[in-house]
Amino acid sequence: MLEVHSLVKKFGDYTAVDHLSFEIQPGSILGLIGQNGAGKTTTFRLILDFIQADEGKVLWNGQVIGEKDYNIIGYLPEERGLYPKLTIEEQLLFFAELRGKSRKEIAPQIDDWLDRFQVKGRKTDKVQTLSKGNQQKVQLIATLIHQPKLVILDEPFSGLDPVNAQIMKNAIIQLRQANACVIFSSHNMDNVEQICDQLIMLKNGKTVLKGNVQEIRESFGRSRLYLEGDYSSYHFEKMPGVEKVEVRNAHLTVLHLSNPEIGKEIFQLVTKDGYIPMFNQQPPTLEEIFKMKAGAENE
């Protein structure tokens, strides 16, 4: 288990990480979100012991984390760092050896890993001949090939197309099954919502959201109502409890409700003639919540 206790990191007068606390149980995934400069990468560097905290501590299985834990950690840094002139195979063997694995053990596994991640290239190809997305997948393999128990991924989805992002998501979900503790940062709220067990949002180093993704969403109330069909004649905007009517396209209308209870009344109204293709009352999406929280800061 990873435990982070009241971490503080200052750069001069600026507090980049401000009393951050959380824990990650084995087989669980934590998403770290926040605007640029919120403190995500600094948090990772503190956990990895690359930089020294001003206050607080990080424990791995009850002990202060340090060099002794190096071989159980898999870290995908924000600045990707492969050696362009090495072949894929040499690269992966090099990183595995750094984490205490033998070439003999790892070499026979490489084809399977390249297959699993659908890397477009042979293991004898030099890294510099691969596209950016494929290089990123090779780097993720390098992060995971020694089967780490603590996995830290700094923006693993950046630069990946939807198919490769899905491969990345599947790989992260499999880490849960392998009982690893996983923490990753992302600016893509859909990905965070889909794969995280819990999330933390940082704002200027401070924790502004923390908990289970669905519970966080529900805490904002079911204030979004998605209706499919033509409701242009319904004049919802005049109804008390309706804050805003958003016509997304000819088929989809989204009502923003200041009073979620009004949903029942709207249901009666829109179904008075029978079947409608969609009536879906939801809490705001994580992306909407993120913007609300980020906006609150800017005010």
Q: Footprint of ligand ATP on this chain (CB under 6 A)?
A: 11, 16, 34, 36-42, 78
Compare residues 53 and 255 and give the one whose CB is closer to ligand ATP.
53
Nearest approach, Cβ of residue 14 and ligand ATP (Å) = 6
How do 150-154 and 55-60 pair as beta strands? Answer: unpaired
Nearest approach, Cβ of residue 287 and ligand ATP (Å) = 16
Tell me the CA distances in angstroms from 64 to 49, 92, 93, 192, one per residue in order.
10, 29, 29, 28
DSSP reduced 3-state for 294:
helix
Q: List, as one string, the DSSP characters of 62-122.
A: TEE--GGGGGGEEEE-SS----TTSBHHHHHHHHHHHTT--HHHHGGGHHHHHHHTT-SS-
User: Which of 66, 43, 79 is closest to 206 using CA atoms?
Assistant: 43
Burial class (CB in 10 A: 0-12, 13-18, 19+), 56: middle
- Ramachandran angles phi, psi of 76, nearest 5°: -105, 105
Compare residues 41 and 259 and give the one whose CB is closer to ligand ATP.
41
Compare residues 41 and 285 and give the one whose CB is closer to ligand ATP.
41
Compare residues 184 and 231 and give the one whose CB is closer to ligand ATP.
184
Compare residues 135 and 186 and give the one whose CB is closer to ligand ATP.
186
Nearest approach, Cβ of residue 146 and ligand ATP (Å) = 25
Nearest approach, Cβ of residue 75 and ligand ATP (Å) = 14
- The residue type found at 29 is I
Compare residues 153 and 262 and give the one whose CB is closer to ligand ATP.
153
Nearest approach, Cβ of residue 157 and ligand ATP (Å) = 13
Nearest approach, Cβ of residue 34 and ligand ATP (Å) = 5
